[in-house]
Structure 1
Amino acid sequence: MIRPIRTSPPAELPVSLEEFKAQAVIDFADDDALAGILLDAAVAHLDGYTGVLGRCLVSQDWAQGYCDWADRLQLPFPDVSSVTVSYRDENGADQTVDEDLFEIVDGARGAHVVFRDEFSGPSLDDDREFPITVYFTAGYGAKDKVPGALRVAIMMLAAHWYAVREAGSGVAVSTVPLGFDALIAPYRRVGV
């Protein structure tokens, strides 16, 4: 298994610029570019493969490669809504596994593609390091489906960065806003 690749970003952010500006009490347009950058950074801090939550917020598409068949293929995220399993066969032709031959099962460390007993892993192209690719959509859905606590945490973090713009060693600069960790804790995936 290799690191997943995002093939399609979310259609929208979990928090709009207008929502963030209202929360941060920014009632002018002069700082819209800066506010947008800070909002993007706060979302990136939580979202996707490199985010601290270990999950996707607004639905987005990913691809994950595998080198061989197994009874189950672990995906890096929970909240997976759709999956396509494709592979390069021994003749070098691209093939797709019938969706009736597997199911998506949520696990403690992410979703799994679990193959049914009728599935017999076909021969693979031995010239490719990762001949199996799972394309999947992960996330809560649209932005209004993202839990409110996570949306508030994003706005809190971006507002904190807006208010404290310099790097340094002071307490106000080096800490996240009070309550941020408590808001995200129930949604953070922890390996078992």
Structure 2
Amino acid sequence: AVENECWRALMPQTWDLHLPGWPAGGVIWIPRPPLRSITSITYRDEDGTAATFDAANYRVDTATEPGRVVLAPGADWPSVALDSSNPITVRFVAGYADAGDVPGMAKAAILLQIGEIYANREAVIVGSTPQVTPAVQRVLNLLKVRY
């Protein structure tokens, strides 16, 4: 619940971001901070042929939240005609390095939610997802990524 409510990755995980085209501003914003690394940026041309965008053509900014990919000075996005269905895939690794790096507020939200579920265990239906309590929601709002 914490990851979904805050749009963050708490532990290391690999994601694919699919894009319909190259961004006009030269920046690809990467969801699910913290961004740890970009594994690859691949694209398909209109014939379906896959290619990899060379890492020398972009810089990875892991310091901002959310992280981003920025074109290197003098570089441009490939000028080929792209496939019509999400032809660009950015594979990235997000998440804190280990449990000790996860923000204390995220851990507190998890513990608050567990305590609420335990205190009201009769009301929880097995197999269902319990509602996030208002107290937990207030803590999670402090961690929420704003796009």
> Could you state the TM-score of these two structures normalised by the residue count of structure 2?
0.76
Deviation at 1:61, TM superposition (A): 0.9
Consecutive unaligned residues in structure 1, runs of 5 or more = 1-44, 168-172
Alpha carbons of structure 1 residues 145 and 121: separation in structure 2 relative to 1, 3 Å: same
Aligned to 1:68, which of 11, 14, 21?
Answer: 21
1:131 equivalent in alignment to 2:87: yes
Matches within 5 A, 1:43-192: 45-47=1-3, 51-70=4-23, 71-83=26-38, 84-105=40-61, 106-107=63-64, 110-124=66-80, 126-165=82-121, 166=123, 176=133, 178=135, 180-181=136-137, 183-191=139-147
Q: Is the 8 A contact 1:67 1:129 kept in 2?
A: yes
Alpha carbons of structure 1 residues 126 and 102: separation in structure 2 relative to 1, 3 Å: closer
Deviation at 1:63, TM superposition (A): 0.6
Consecutive unaligned residues in structure 2, runs of 5 or more = 125-129
Q: CA RMSD in A?
A: 2.6
Between Structure 1 and Structure 2, how many residues are aligned?
Answer: 137
Equivalent residue, structure 2, for 1:12? none
Q: Is the 8 A contact 2:44 2:82 kept in 1?
A: no
Partner of 1:63, secondary structure, is strand
2: distance between equivalents of 1:116 and 1:73? Answer: 12
Deviation at 1:85, TM superposition (A): 0.9
Deviation at 1:126, TM superposition (A): 3.6
Partner of 2:114, secondary structure, is helix
Alpha carbons of structure 1 residues 181 and 90: separation in structure 2 relative to 1, 3 Å: closer
Partner of 1:149, secondary structure, is helix
2: distance between equivalents of 1:88 and 1:81? Answer: 25
